[in-house]
Amino acid sequence: MAKAQKNFVCSNCGAVTTKWSGRCDGCGEWNTIAEEKPLSSAGPTKKTLGGMRGKEIPLSKLSTKESPPPRTSSGLGEFDRVLGGGLVPASAILVGGDPGIGKSTLLLQAAAKFADAGLKVIYISGEEASAQVRMRAQRLGLSEAAVQLGAETNLRDILTTLEKQEPDLVIIDSIQTMWADNVESAPGSVSQVRAAAHELVTFAKTRGVSVVLVGHVTKEGQLAGPRVVEHMVDTVLYFEGERGHQFRLLRAVKNRFGPAHEIGVFEMTGDGLSEVTNPSALFLSERDQPAPGSVVFAGIEGTRPVLVEFQALVAPSPHAQARRTVVGWDGSRLAMILAVLEARCGIPFAGLDVYLNVAGGMKVSEPAADLAVAAALLSAREDAALPKDCVVFGELSLSGSLRPVGQTENRLKEAKKLGFSSAIAPAQSKAGEKSGMDMRLMSDLVGFVGEVFGA
């Protein structure tokens, strides 16, 4: 008899190996690999679901005969925005986030809104008893909402219920608590999470039901993270926020039905999440006086302009190796900008500790922030503040030249709306004149340093 093969699975990315190792080759995470029983061959939980069974249909026929029903807006504007303008029927959505960040709160509120909009919504909690969910609903002022609640973890029971109830939207909180009885490993393991997600997504697609799966981000251990199911769903949203800050970002990292990188902004209050429709004002609210090291970046998140503040601190280092600490931006991009400042402008940062922070817990990934970061670093190093009414944007190349970035007009409009009157931007930036802003156009970093810091 053949020896049963051992399986080792990474709980972060789902990569399978035959040998244990401390670090996953797939995603590079440490301590995420654990042994798992191989999938049993007992077959799917349910009888085969209906469908096209391999019959091909011409695209043209599909679109004319069965035009898709319109999206449903929840009325929770920030949530709809991240979905790409409302909920698409029969879509599968994953909402990931750290435990305790507010996923259950968000989805209960969204469920109530969708129920108000006329959808039949079922909220299934595998973590809390129905009574606890009801208590939360009361706290959120949603006790009258027409949402069906269930506390269940057995996938077979859930699918049977859903088949009978024929809802429009199902929320599964969380996918890590679900277990399929045809898979031998423990709930929360990679095979269980995958099997449960697969069954639920298949159900969604064949029955025209939208499914939202909640997934906790796990740092290590046996619990599979949401990344394991990312590829199975249409839309992947991450709910993020800093502990200690009350606002939360819902970020689309993948969306088959709308723009990726779209963000929705919420504030966690005593009675639930409230929408923040003007995030720029929120991210800048802590700023009153112009301070050295503080620079406002006119950024774009998804389709919306957002102003964020970069804060830098540069101080002589007591350590043999100077520190580089970044929060809210990419560490290697910071290293690149430090190198460009040193090589092209002759401004060294050796022997200096550098701290860079994006205010308010925001995360910025746009290269257009390069110039704002360089400005913050210089401003901190020279102890000279930029004018208070000034925004900055532009991408830096390794040669030290500045590249124009997209959506200049939108960036400037947002800055003007929030009371800014001047902008430092790459030389080729169009739409500058029309904006009514005082434009200071730069073609390279050397020119920028000379003009702004007089160096």
Q: Which residues bind Mg ion (CB under 5 A)?
A: 104
Evaluate the omega torsion of the peptide bond into residue 285 and state whether it is cis, within 30 degrees of 0: no
Q: Which two tokens stand for residue 271?
A: 């009675």
* Of residues 121-150, those binding ligand TYD (CB under 6 A): 136, 139-140
Q: Which two tokens stand for residue 10?
A: 């990474």
Stretch that binds ligand TYD, among 99-107, 117-125, 184-192, 388-396 (CB under 6 A): 99-107
Residue 344, contacted partner among Mg ion, ligand TYD, none, CB below 5-8 A by kind: none
Residues in binding contact with ligand TYD, number by CB under 6 A? 15
244 is in an annotated binding site: no
CA distances from 101 to 34, 98, 165, 245 (A): 26, 6, 30, 11
Of these, 25, 157, 271, 286, which contacts ligand TYD (CB under 6 A)?
271
Residue sitting closest to Mg ion (CB):
104
Dihedrals phi, psi of 110, to nearest 5 degrees: -65, -40
Residue 275 pairs in a beta bridge with 266
| Minimum gap (Å) between residue 100 Cβ and ligand TYD | 5
Residue 268, contacted partner among ligand TYD, Mg ion, none, CB below 5-8 A by kind: ligand TYD
75 is in an annotated binding site: no
What end-to-end distance do the CA atoms of the chain give, in Å?
78
Stretch that binds ligand TYD, among 58-66, 103-111, 325-333, 414-422 (CB under 6 A): 103-111
Query: Quick check: 105 binds ligand TYD (CB under 6 A)?
Result: yes
Query: Quick check: 81 binds ligand TYD (CB under 6 A)?
Result: no
For residues 270 and 140, give the distance between their C-alpha atoms in angstroms, rounded to a whole number: 9
Question: 177 vs 407, which CB is nearer to ligand TYD?
Answer: 177
272 is in an annotated binding site: no
| Degrees to nearest 5, angle at CA 13 with 7 and 16 | 20
158 in Cβ contact with 124 (< 8 Å): yes
| Minimum gap (Å) between residue 359 Cβ and ligand TYD | 21
User: Nearest Cα to 337, choosing from 394, 255, 421, 282?
Assistant: 394
Question: 224 vs 437, which CB is nearer to ligand TYD?
Answer: 224
326 in Cβ contact with 338 (< 8 Å): no
Of these, 12, 45, 74, 104, which contacts ligand TYD (CB under 6 A)?
104
75 in Cβ contact with 133 (< 8 Å): no
Q: Which residue has the tokens 């619990």?
A: 223
User: Nearest Cα to 103, choosing from 121, 128, 84, 85?
Assistant: 128
For residues 192 and 198, give the distance between their C-alpha atoms in angstroms, rounded to a whole number: 10
218 in Cβ contact with 174 (< 8 Å): no
| Minimum gap (Å) between residue 125 Cβ and ligand TYD | 10
Of these, 81, 103, 251, 304, which contacts ligand TYD (CB under 6 A)?
103
101 is in an annotated binding site: yes
Query: Quick check: 97 binds ligand TYD (CB under 6 A)?
Result: yes
| Minimum gap (Å) between residue 147 Cβ and Mg ion | 15
What length is written for the chain?
A: 455
User: Based on the number of CB atoms within 10 Å of its own CB, is 11 exposed (0-12), middle (13-18) or buried (19 or more)?
Assistant: buried
| Minimum gap (Å) between residue 136 Cβ and Mg ion | 9
Residue 136, contacted partner among Mg ion, ligand TYD, none, CB below 5-8 A by kind: ligand TYD
Query: Quick check: 102 binds ligand TYD (CB under 6 A)?
Result: yes
100 is in an annotated binding site: yes
CA–centroid distance for 344 within its chain: 35
For residues 76 and 58, give the distance between their C-alpha atoms in angstroms, rounded to a whole number: 37
- Report which DSSP code applies to 293: T
Dihedrals phi, psi of 264, to nearest 5 degrees: -120, 140
Stretch that binds ligand TYD, among 177-185, 270-278, 321-329, 445-453 (CB under 6 A): 270-278
Question: 99 vs 387, which CB is nearer to Mg ion?
Answer: 99
| Minimum gap (Å) between residue 239 Cβ and ligand TYD | 7
103 is in an annotated binding site: yes
User: Nearest Cα to 333, choosing from 387, 296, 372?
Assistant: 372
Residue 84, contacted partner among Mg ion, ligand TYD, none, CB below 5-8 A by kind: none
Mention every residue, 6+ apart, whose C-beta is less than 8 A from residue 63: none
98 is in an annotated binding site: yes
Question: 103 vs 113, which CB is nearer to ligand TYD?
Answer: 103
104 is in an annotated binding site: yes
Residue 97, contacted partner among ligand TYD, Mg ion, none, CB below 5-8 A by kind: ligand TYD
Question: 13 vs 110, which CB is nearer to ligand TYD?
Answer: 110
The alpha helices in 174-330, defined as continuous H runs, are 190-207, 279-284
Of these, 49, 268, 385, 439, which contacts ligand TYD (CB under 6 A)?
268
363 in Cβ contact with 403 (< 8 Å): no
- Write out the binding residues for ATP: 97-104
- Contact residues toward ligand TYD (CB under 6 A) are 97, 99-105, 136, 139-140, 268, 270-272
Q: Which residues are annotated as a binding site?
A: 97-104
